Copies of this chain bind each other. A is one copy, B any other.
């Protein structure tokens, strides 16, 4: 059964809409009952909290189970950093979690064709999972999509439709046309996708609860006991679907009695396109769409959503958990991306926004020294390479000298 977080109305049936009559997005109701933490990660380790069972084969059977890395070198003035590396999903981003659940549900219900509206990670993920389940897939992309992104999506063989016009409205076009066209659109905040995406947060809560998260990571006498839960989680927010899913995870873990002290949920946006942060800062009840002249370019293009369909739900989530929404500028994002690479973690710019946001939050005192903070690095992206390279060139005969051998 699906319900609305905002007004409590419920919707049933496979053809019920993805949004409530009140305008807000629906999500699946779950009764965590006496749910207990599984002994491992992976989307399907949490099957008891999902609306569909693990498929017997194909890519959708193996999403998730990403590592949580303690990175002392990235600590922010005493705040201890753990990074959830979502880029190690099969197609390189957290989107695989929702695609897996969406595709599994489509297969279970005998749907032939799935689809999505995306020009990046979600498009590639959906196309891959559909291919893995032998389903047809339709991807709606903007007409001006770059050739390189188009090639990445096309690798999996979906039908690609470039749509000329207001890209932000395609989300609603898809919801309208999907049922009539026989296409199950698993968009950014569809109930199925949110169900899959909550496993990002369930996994990191499980790892902390199981004592798998490192203390201070320095070893020796100074090693702290592993914390039982993170004090805060910081993740990027774009459509608000993943942010909503994090809130769902925290609610379910709390309802199951598995989380005594729920983490604060912080969301990061790029300053150039920050409708959720604007609403948070202004104390507004709802997120409103940015006008074209309020949107700028940003390196974090993956999260530049001027009209987030689950923006208000994300706003509600951060307030309900005592968090905040933080906008960070491109210089701060680039610095954070560079520092993450310097700790061995190569992520796309959007995935560096949580570290940039944590620096802001630590400076303002919203996060304290000694707190454990989980940053969700949502995707590996396919940028992140060095722009300048400092390399020397020697001959084999000169190599010994170059290495300091006498």
Q: Which residues of A contact B (CB under 8 A)?
A: 39-40, 56-59, 61-62, 65, 67-73, 85, 87-92, 127-132, 134, 138, 140-141, 143, 147-148, 150-152, 154-157, 160-166, 169-170, 173, 177, 180-183, 214-215, 217-219, 223, 341-346, 380, 382, 384-397, 399-400, 402-406
Contacts and interface: CB of A to CB of B under 8 A. Distances in A.
A140 to B, nearest CB: 7
A160 B39 contact: no
Q: How many copies does the complex hold?
A: 2
The 3 closest A-B pairs by CB, nearest first: A57-B217, A132-B344, A62-B67
Contact of A403 (B138, B151, B380, B387): B138
Contact of A164 (B73, B343, B394, B406): B394
Nearest to A223: B56
B39 A396 contact: no
B177 A405 contact: yes
A399 B143 CA distance: 12
A345 B132 contact: yes
A154 B389 contact: yes
A335 to B, nearest CB: 14
Contacts of A130: 344
Contact of A65 (B67, B134, B154, B215): B67
Nearest to A145: B391
Given A154-B386, A154-B391, A389-B151, A400 B57 contact: no
Nearest to A176: B400
Given A89-B88, A403-B183, A56 B70 contact: yes
A156 B214 contact: no
Nearest to A138: B403
Contact of A173 (B61, B127, B157, B399): B399
Given A88-B90, A164-B396, A170-B396, 16 more contacts: A57-B217, A57-B218, A58-B344, A61-B70, A65-B65, A87-B90, A132-B344, A151-B385, A154-B390, A155-B346, A157-B342, A160-B390, A161-B393, A165-B396, A166-B396, A181-B405
A391 B160 contact: yes
A58 B70 contact: yes
Nearest to A127: B344
Nearest to A152: B385
Nearest to A395: B164
9 contacts: A56-B218, A58-B70, A58-B217, A91-B346, A160-B389, A160-B392, A161-B402, A165-B396, A180-B405
Contact of A61 (B69, B154, B389, B395): B69
A72 B59 contact: no
